Amino acid sequence: MALDNTDHPVNSLGFARPPAETRVVVAMSGGVDSSVVAAMLAEEGYDVVGVTLQLYDHGAALAKKGACCAGRDIHDARRVAEEMGFPHYVLDYESVFKDAVIDEFADSYLAGATPVPCIRCNEKVKFKDLLETARDLDADCMATGHYIQRRDGAAGPELHRAADANRDQSYFLFSTTPEQLAYLRFPLGHLESKDATRALAARYGLGVADKPDSQDICFVPDGDYARVIEKLRPGAAEPGEIVDMAGTVLGRHDGVIHYTIGQRRGLGIGGLSEPLYVVKLDPDSRRVIVGPKEALSTRHVPVAEVNWLGDAPFESRDAWHVSVKVRSTRPPREAVVRPDGPTGAVVELLNPEEGVAPGQACVFYETGTSRVLGGGWITRRA
């Protein structure tokens, strides 16, 4: 691509050259968000290239409206590209997706964790392999339909929460590295509502303007995680005991993979004086441990694989006073992050949280601002 011309004003993607001389690869899922991004940039005159990833065998999901990446979505992405007049490619990433996302999802569940495959997909597929493909296509940057903001800071690009708190996807993008952030663009992060996105889709005349949002993990279109695990790992659902915290057997179960930390319903151990919750999963002994609600509370959360986006090095302080989210649906809470290595830490919550589960992400935010400081993966407590 052409070199930046310092005499030319900076365009909306941050390059000092005309949009027509700026190539941008748009990751298109076939949904309304990424379609609007592609249409918006094409209308502004950018050299747009649309790319859609075929991530899994979507035959079982073809008729499922709420699942992403299925055959219908590929068709919808291609149609948007035709309508707006830019090239569109479908790339077969099934083997990469299986190795990097689906297999880890299955193994994590079998280990008693509660994984978040959408984060791993962003980390290991979309912002890694697809980003490299964008570079191979000689693109200046890659744009996505994620609801998150990228801002230029004193020390380089910063990651910030979306303007619309209800649509914010920062929890799922905490592992974005500084190098990736320098190349990525998120044109929807400043919008105040999803209605604004749909209004843009209607203005561009896109057929996906009223398309429903995806709700499920794309390779689990019906939300039945256990059935997917059993298909991937035959024999995984071995029966075992449901016990209380003292080890007293209260009942039987059909497989640890059917349970998650904090679960109350469907335990099949009625007739007790107080409600019980799943407080721990022990796949080695095939035991589901239950206890009272207060047993779910914790203040100390070990995390690993920390991705740090702060200006100063992570280990330059003994403690970072931040806000954290331990679930995507929960608001940030005050905490202290104490590094215990370059990619490990113990997070101390100032107020206990319930249902903190291994395999979930713990995302760090700068207190009092919208800035994302990174995060890590919650590991099993000793």
Choice among 68, 69, 218, 362 that is catalytic: 218
H helices of 190-255, where? 194-203, 225-232
Known catalytic membership, residue 362 = no
Choice among 69, 121, 141, 362 that is catalytic: 121
What lies within 8 Å, CB to CB, of 382 at 6+ separation is 302
The span from the CA of 295 to the CA of 262, in Å, is 10
288 C-beta neighbours (distance < 10 Å), count:
27
Q: By the 8 A CB rule, do 77 and 89 touch?
A: no
- Helices 225-232, 103-110: axis angle to 10 degrees equals 100
Tokens in use for 351? 């107020």
Strand partners, 158: 151
Q: CA 129, 370, 68: angle at the middle one, nearest 5?
A: 40
Instruction: Look at residues 182, 176, 81, 170 and name the one whose alpha carbon lies nearest to residue 135.
Output: 182
Known catalytic membership, residue 121 = yes
Pairing of the two strands 47-54 and 88-92: parallel
The span from the CA of 21 to the CA of 175, in Å, is 31
Tokens in use for 166? 């209800």
Catalytic positions are: 121, 218
